[in-house]
Amino acid sequence: MSQTVDWGRTAYKDAWDQQLELVEQRRADACQDTLILTEHNPVFTIGARPGADQHLVWTEQILAQQGIEVVKTNRGGDITYHGPGQIVGYPIMDLREKKDLHAYLRDLEEVLIRTVAHFGIEAGRREGKTGIWIEERKIAAIGVAVKTWVTYHGFALNVDPDLSHFSGIVPCGITDGTVTSLAQECETPPLMGQVKARLVKEFWSLFQG
């Protein structure tokens, strides 16, 4: 059994708190595997990778002018941006039987590759780097965490976010690449609802296949 829940627009900290509640429920078998979808208010999140906070470029004054919050988080990875126009997915999944985080990450990557492929975009993995790429342009970021083999945090797919906000950071610590979106890459940009629907279909076809 599984479910998909769309939280709509959320503040990052609120969504994090709600994830942790669901993780505890899943650990107690009080809920089923769940894919949460949301769009966050503008925020830079700093991951657990050492030195990640050094990749914040903008000053407090610029952050205030741009209306962007900064949150330190416990997910894997470096620093990234979340904001409107970006689908953030938080799978709350029980991996206690498989206990293979590497395979889980590869599966998340595959979901995103298949999703953008549906819209005519050929994307893939990049040697030594996380996320999904179109050549040297990153279209999706991944950063996960697990608690006694129940997953939380997840991925972010750029549909049509304000890409100028990425200039306030060194995204995911990348100095040899840029950030892109479906709106940038597609001749006819898909609607957010279309991308969500495809993403949900690809996610469950892979994780329940």
pLDDT in tens, 148-201: 999 999 999 999 999 999 999 986 666 667 899 999 999 999 999 999 999 999
Rg (CA), the chain: 16
Measured CA to CA, the distance from residue 94 to residue 150 in angstroms comes to 5
Q: Residue 170's pLDDT is what?
A: 85
Residues 6+ apart with CB under 8 A from 17: none
Tokens in use for 28?
A: 């107690």
Half-sphere exposure (CA, 13 Å, Cβ side) for 130?
Answer: 20
Q: Which of 84, 107, 116 is closest to 185 using CA atoms? A: 116
Mean predicted confidence (pLDDT) in 135-153: 95
Question: How many domains are contained in the chain?
Answer: 1
Measured CA to CA, the distance from residue 16 to residue 54 in angstroms comes to 23
Secondary structure string (H, E, C) spanning 91-119: EECECCCCCCHHHHHHHHHHHHHHHHHHC
Give the percent of the chain with pLDDT over 70.
97
Helix (H, G, I), strand (E, B) or coil at 49: coil
Please work out, in degrees rounded to the nearest 5, the angle formed at the alpha carbon of residue 23 by the alpha carbons of 131 and 68.
Answer: 50
Q: Residue 208's pLDDT is what?
A: 87
Tokens in use for 92?
A: 């709350």
Catalytic site residue 172? yes
Largest interatomic CA distance in the chain: 49
pLDDT (tens digit per residue) in 16-34: 999 999 999 999 999 999 9
Helix (H, G, I), strand (E, B) or coil at 181: coil
Q: Which domain holds residue 65?
A: 2-207
Q: Residue 176's pLDDT is what?
A: 66
Measured CA to CA, the distance from residue 16 to residue 11 in angstroms comes to 9
Please work out, in degrees rounded to the nearest 5, the angle formed at the alpha carbon of residue 106 by the alpha carbons of 105 and 110.
Answer: 115
Residues 6+ apart with CB under 8 A from 86: 39, 40, 156, 157, 158, 159, 161
User: What CATH number has the domain bearing residue 138?
Assistant: 3.30.930.10
From the candidates 142, 144, 172, 195, which is the catalytic residue? Answer: 172
Please tell me the pTM assigned to this model: 0.95
pLDDT (tens digit per residue) in 68-121: 999 999 998 888 999 999 999 999 999 999 899 999 999 999 999 999 999 999
User: Average pLDDT over the chain, rounded to whole?
Assistant: 94
Q: Residue 175's pLDDT is what?
A: 66
Mean predicted confidence (pLDDT) in 37-56: 93
